[in-house]
Structure 1
Amino acid sequence: MATGRGRKGNRQARMALGEHLREFRNRLIKSAAALVLGAIAGFLLYNPLFSQLIEPIMNVAENEDRFASINFDGVASSFDLMVQTSLFLGLLVSSPIWLYQMWAFITPGLKDKERRIALSFMAISVPLFVGGVFLAWLVLPNAVRALLSFTPEGGSNVITAQLYLTFVMRLLLAFGIAFLLPVVLFGLNLVGVLSGRQILKSWRITVLLVCVLAAMAAPGPDIMSMFYLVIPLLFFFFLATGLCLLNDRRRARQAAKHETETETGADTATSADELQNL
């Protein structure tokens, strides 16, 4: 009975190598199917999305009396760009599914507490990443307009479509990853690497680093583009710091309670029945 309960409660820890491989194959097939379906959706949305992507450049050309356009420098360049954009959209759209498949493969080998923590981290990380990507989408027009403003008078901007797509993807990913900062800090606190007080003591250098990273991730000379990223990052940093301090207090209370129970148990004589059971 004990073996059955252990296998049911921790199934993957007792799976044979062949079962592990079959489990991994099934999870991989489901993830690939979700990616393909997401890529198909991205293919259907490619034309309206591309129109939205190049709208900042078209606005510069119309409103600032400068020549700016997207250039496809090869016969197959437009097709390659469509495929890459569709795959990128598919990866974003299907992220909840393949993330779930990944954690569903990993978590059965964890303890109950570790499994709850892992699933909680995944549930928090996805909306934070999506929120960062959405904020980057809002910042994109200002960043493009600011960067094109450096073009000398009489010059023109003939922008390669591939390079422009790379710029947009890096901007979206930079904002999305930056929004995962509180999850990383709280995770380090949970495993005991960083305490809340250590994080709080470094708030000055953190503010400086956040400003530098925001200036690099939001490539625009206008101050507002940088603050669009600085303000939420600092908010999440201090929110994570507060959660770490609360977790440190909870951990300290548990340690004090355990110490008290240990001292109380040490002062109590062990009965003959307990000694016999031992």
Structure 2
Amino acid sequence: MPLIEHLLELRSRLFKACIGIVLGTIVSLVFVKQVLAFLERPYDQAARALGMKNPGLQILAPTDLLVLELKIALYVGLLIAAPIWLYQLWSFITPGLHKNERRWAYSFVAVASPLFFGGAVLAYFVISRGLEFLLPSGNSGIIANLELSKYIDFVTGMMVLFGCGFEFPLIVVMLNFAGLISARRLLSWWRVSIFVMFLFAAVVTPTPDPFGMTALALPMTALYFLAVGVAFAHDRRKAKAAAAAGFGNVSDDEASPITYDLDEIDNPDTSGYVDTVRSTEIEPAPRRRYDDDAT
């Protein structure tokens, strides 16, 4: 297709995706208050555990609640309309992909979605424990008046970070399937990988106590070793396929034999290789004569 036709198709796909997101947002406005109450629940649980007085969340402007509900409705609308805009995106990309690349993309989406959802659910339960550590107790004399929109941004941000953290093992598997990293190399990096995962968990968790960090780092570590196991299975299957094709004993770094006897090219009846290439004189090709008036 010409570039203009690609741009026209992209515009059509984006328009249909936006229509789907708008419809999903409209539908989510019906139950946006229930979603808001669900997000406020970790704060309510932490407030009851601490014995806080007047544990309600506050707004600072008359329009803050409306704007927050519209924002939440947009987020939920993106989730509801995900089949629509993902289909439009996939329909635009898939003509340029090979069959095996499409199969990889299907597998990636099928695994990435539950992993992200699992990380978000884990963050939801960790937040209430983190708030118990961060907020003052009811008998401390300090009154906590949290602003509603900042609290919701904190909760949703934590859920997104935990979800992204759970995608790390999937990226490791994709690198192995692409042939960039072997399973043995991944296993040799296990100490560095665990350190990086605990460091990531320590940065993104809201509390300095080890509970939240461990709650995120341990599942990431287990998923990493699961990814290494998948990489070993893939490398073993790949090695068997190479052996069946006759290349099982050839290392990836082994050079192919390129020494040959130049006489064998002129005399195909002879056979065998020699250790060195004989140098031969090649007669220069006759120079072509051009007329002065030729172009």
TM-score, length basis structure 2? 0.75
- The alignment of Structure 1 onto Structure 2 pairs a total of residues equal to 248
Match of 1:30 among 12, 16, 23: 16
Find the counterpart in structure 1 of residue 39 from structure 2. Answer: 53
Matches within 5 A, 1:111-260: 111-149=98-136, 153-260=140-247
Q: Distance in 2 between matches of 1:70 and 1:211?
A: 32
- Equivalence for 1:268: none
Point out the structure with the larger helix share.
Answer: 1
The answer on whether the counterparts of 1:196 and 1:248 sit within 8 Å (CA) in structure 2 is yes
Separation in 2 of the partners of 1:152 and 1:96?
Answer: 49
For residues 48-74 of structure 1, the C-alpha deviation after alignment (integer angstroms, 9 at most, x for no partner) is: 122222233334444433243312111
| Greater C-alpha radius of gyration | 2
How big is the shift at 1:185?
0.7
How far apart, CA to CA, are the structure 1 residues paired with 2:62 and 2:26? 23
> 1:64, 1:181 → 2: CA distance?
35
The superposition leaves residues 188-231 of structure 1 with CA deviations (integer Å, 9 ceiling, x where unpaired) of 11222211111111111211221222233232345443333223
Higher deviation after alignment, 171-180 or 101-110: 101-110
Q: CA deviation at 1:167?
A: 0.6
Assess if the C-alpha contact under 8 Å between 2:115 and 2:166 holds in 1. Answer: yes
- Asked whether the equivalents of residues 183 and 240 of structure 1 are also in contact (C-alpha less than 8 Å), the reply is yes
1:43, 1:182 → 2: CA distance? 35
Equivalent pair of 2:47/2:132 in contact (CA under 8 Å): no
CA deviations 1:117-146 (Å, max 9, x no partner) are: 122212221222122222222323222222
- Range 48-57 or range 92-101, more displaced: 92-101
Is the Cα contact below 8 Å between 2:115 and 2:167 reproduced in 1?
Answer: yes
Once residues 205 and 223 of structure 2 are traced to their aligned partners in structure 1, the CA distance between those partners, rounded to angstroms, is: 18
Give the TM-score normalised by the residue count of structure 1.
0.80
Q: 2:272 is matched with which residue?
A: none
| AA of the residue aligned to 1:51 | A
Q: Secondary structure at the match of 1:71?
A: coil
Instruction: Provide, for residues 81-108 of structure 1, a one-character-per-residue CA deviation record: whole Å limited to 9, x for no partner.
Output: 1111111222233334322322221121
**1:191 and 1:109 mapped to 2: Cα distance?**
18
Match of 1:44 in 2: 30
Q: Which structure 2 residues correspond to residues 1-80 of structure 1 after superposition, within 5 A?
A: 15-67=1-53, 68-80=55-67
Give the whole-Å Cα distance in 2 for the aligned partners of 1:244 and 1:74.
Answer: 53
Q: How does 1:93-108 map to 2 (within 5 A)?
A: 93-108=80-95
- Percent identity between the two aligned chains: 35
Rounded to whole Å, the distance in 2 between the matches of 1:210 and 1:145 is 24
Residue 149 of structure 1 and its aligned partner are, at CA, apart by 4.3
Match of 1:10 in 2: none
In the other structure, the counterpart of 1:275 is none
2:120–2:159: 8 Å Cα contact kept in structure 1? yes
